[in-house]
Structure 1
C-alpha cells in the first residue's frame, strides 16, 4: 500500500484540497481528506501541497529527445520516446509513425507488439499517421510515401488486435467505401487527417465509424460559408474527438478558443505532434532526409513548413490556461480524461478514483512537472531508458 499525502487532488472532475490518495497493486484504492491518518503499513509520500492529477495521455508523439519513431521503429526507440515525454507528465502515449514504406510500418507494429508484451510502462499502442493520405494536404509527409491502401491494408492495420490500441489517420476521400467500417469493426480507431475531403466525404466516413480528427485545422480543408469542409464536419460532429496542438503556432489562440466553444464539451483533446526536437538541445535535426529547424517554439523545414513540434504536454496544459484562458481543471481534462475517452479507456484512465490505474502527474503552482507515477510506480523508481542517439545539432535550445 502506498499513500500520497497532503496533496491538492484533481480527480478528473474537481480539485480536492488536502487529500490523500491510497494506491495498491497499481490501482487507486481510495481518495480521502486530510487529516485521515495513514495506515502504518502504507508507504507514505508527503507531497507538500502539490497538485496531483491524472497522468497526461498523448495520442500523437512522433518522437522525443533526439529519437524519431520513423528512424528507430524498435522497442528501444519507443522506450526512449516514452521516457522523454514522461519527464513532462505524459504517462500514456501512442508513438506515431508518419507515412513510410511498408517495411517500416511492419517494423513499427512489431516493435509495439514486443514492447506491449514486455509491459512497457507508458505505452498504450501505436498511431499510424498515413500513408493513406491526400498529397494535396501532405504537410511535411513525403509525397513519394503517400499511397492508396493495398489490398491487405485492413489486415496490416489491425494486426495488433487486442494487444494494443491502434489509431490510424487516413484521408477519407482516398480510401474505398467500407474501408473505415472494416477497420472500425476490427477495433481500430480511425481519424481523418491530411485530407482535402469535403463535408460530405467526412459525413460518409462518420457513418462508417470515423472517430477523430488529427491536428484540427492543420492539413485539412477549412470551414467556409458554403462548404463546411473537414473543419466544419469536425466541429459539428457529436460522436468524434479533435486533437488540438496548443503551441501558439499550429493554431492561433483565438481560433483555438472558437473551436473549444463550438465543439461539444469533452471532445477536444490536447496532442503535441512532437518530433525528436521535443526535449532536445539541438536547433537543427535530421528529419526523414531533410534538415528541420527549431526556434522560438516552432519546428519547420527549410521552406517554412511546420514539421511537427517541440511541444510537451505540460507546456500544452499551461498554454491552455495562459493562451486560451480556460480553467486549469478543463486543461487537465483535455490532457487526460478526453484522450482516454477517445481511446475508449476512460473506465481505467483519466480520473483518480477507486479502481482506476494509478497513473499520476504531480505539478507545482507554476504547473511544472515534479514527478509522475505509472501503475503506482514513481518515475524515480522506474528503470532508466536506454541512452538516446544524438542527431545533428548546432547548440543548446
Structure 2
C-alpha cells in the first residue's frame, strides 16, 4: 500500500513559482502534486514544516569529499556513502563524488565503488565525476603533475563500462591531452564531457563543444582567461550557448564582480550553476588532510597546498546559495535554481530532478525564512533534520 504524505505549513518554491498556503504531496518517492492545503484528504499523513521554505533539493556536480572522507583516499562505496551523508546536512540531495587526478588503479577502484554505490541505492548518489588525469600540466592547480597524462584507449574502455550505470557521469578533460574525437566519443556515449584545467584557445574550446562537450569545470579557475584578442575558455564558456558552467561561489575562487560579469554575459540556453568543489573538511573540524601524499591546509575558509595553491573549496551548497543571494544580490529564486534546476539541466536530468513538479523525485529541502537548514529529504524520506 502506497503511503501518501503532505508537507504543509511552509511556502513552497517549485522551481518556477512560490505557492502560499499549499501542501507538497509525495507518494512512492515522487512528487504527486502541489495543491491548496485546505483540499487535502483527511486520511493523508500530514507533516507540518512549522514555517519556512520548501525548495528543490540541491544538486552538486563537483564534490571531492565531505564528513572527513576524500574520495581519492577512500575510493569505496562506504566512502561515497559518507560523502553523500555529509552533504545532505547542507541541503544537497544529489551529487557526483569527484575523483581528482590519480593513478589508473585508484581510478579503476573508484569506478568499481561507484557501481557498488549505485547497486546499494545510496541516498544522494547520482554518479561519478572524473576530474582528470587528462588535463593540462600548465593549468594543473592542485592536481599532481606527475599523474597527468594523455587519454588512452584503455581509459575510454574503463569509462565506457559505466555507460547506462549512473544517472549522470561527468569527465573533465583538457584538449591538450584528449583529442576532439575522443571527447566526441564519450559525449556520444552519454557522458557529460567538461572542459577544464586547460590553456585551450577559444576556437579549440568551441570545436570541442561542437563535438559534444557540454560543461566547463569551475569557471575562471585553472583555465585560459578572457582576453581582448584571445577569449580563451572563459570567453568560450560565456559565448557558447550549448555550454553550461560550474561556478565555485565562495568569494575566494572567483571575485564577486567577476561572478556578476559572467552571469550577465552568459549566452543561453546553457546556464551558470553552483558547484562546491568541496573537500573532506565539510561537516568537520579538520585543520588539514592529505591528497596524493601532499598536505592540504585549512585556514580562514581556504584550502591550500603548502605553496598557497588553492586545493578545492571549504564551502557547502546552502552557504553557496546564501552567497549568490546576499553578496551578489541575485533574487532568491535564481540562487535556488543555480543550485538545483541548472545543474540538473547541465547533466540532462531536468526531467526528473531540480524542480518540485508532478512525477519528479521527491528531493527537497526545508529551510528557515533566513535560509537556515531545517531538514533534507531524498526520495520522500527525511535524511537529515536540524534539531
**Under a length normalisation based on structure 1, what TM-score does the superposition of the two structures give?**
0.94
Alpha-carbon distance between aligned partners in 2 of 1:325 and 1:221, rounded to the nearest angstrom: 28
Aligned with residue 223 of structure 1, among 210, 223, 226: 226
- SS where residue 202 of structure 1 aligns? helix
1:193 aligns with 2:179: no
Unaligned runs of 5+ in 1: 382-397
Give, in angstroms, the shift of residue 144 of structure 1: 0.7
Shift of residue 204, structure 1, vs aligned partner: 1.2
The equivalent of 2:308 in structure 1 is 304
In structure 2, the residue matched to 1:385 is none
Give 3-state SS (helix, strand or coil) of 1:163's partner: coil
Q: How does 1:147-186 map to 2 (within 5 A)?
A: 147-164=149-166, 165-186=168-189
Pair 1:204 & 2:204 matched? no
Instruction: Tell me which residue corresponds to 1:59.
Output: 61
Query: What does residue 10 of structure 2 align with?
Result: 7
2:285 to 267, 281, 288: 281
Native 8 Å contact 2:89 2:384 kept in 1: no
- Return the alpha-carbon distance in structure 2 between the equivalents of residues 152 and 357 of structure 1: 35
From the superposition, tell whether residues 287 and 257 of structure 1 become closer, same or farther in structure 2 (CA, over 3 Å): same
Instruction: Give the conservation status (yes or no) of the 8 Å contact 1:166–1:189.
Output: yes
Give the total of aligned pairs: 380
Of 271, 274, 283, 1:270 maps to 274
> 1:68: which partner in 2?
70
2:121 to 119, 122, 134: 119
Q: Deviations over 1:280-309 (max 9, x none)?
A: 202222232122111221111111110101
TM-score (norm 2): 0.96
* Equivalent runs, 1:132-143 vs 2, <5 Å: 132-143=134-145
Greater Cα shift, 360-369 or 66-75: 360-369
CA contact 1:158–1:166 (8 Å) conserved in 2:
no
Matches of 1:65 and 1:130 in 2, distance apart? 23
Aligned-partner Cα distance in 2 for 1:148–1:162: 25
Distance 1:380 1:349 in 2: 19
| Structure 1 residue ranges (4+ consecutive) displaced by more than 3 angstroms after TM superposition | none
Separation of aligned partners in 2, 1:251 and 1:321: 15
Out of 260-269 and 46-55, give the one that drifted further. 260-269
- C-alpha separation in 2, matches of 1:175 and 1:288: 23
Say yes or no: does 1:19 pair with 2:22: yes
CA RMSD of aligned residues (A): 1.2
What does residue range 86-125 of structure 1 map to in structure 2 within 5 Å? 86-125=88-127
In 2, are the aligned partners of 1:278 and 1:309 still within 8 Å (CA)? no
> Is 1:316–2:323 an aligned residue pair?
no
Q: What is the alpha-carbon distance in structure 1 between the residues aligned to residue 292 and residue 120 of structure 2?
A: 29
2:353 pairs, out of 337, 344, 349, with 349
Compared with structure 1, are the counterparts of its residues 313 and 380 closer, same or farther at alpha carbon in structure 2 (3 Å cutoff)? closer
SS of match in other structure, 1:21:
strand
Secondary structure, in 3 states, of the residue corresponding to 1:173? coil
Give structure 2 stretches of 5+ with no counterpart.
none
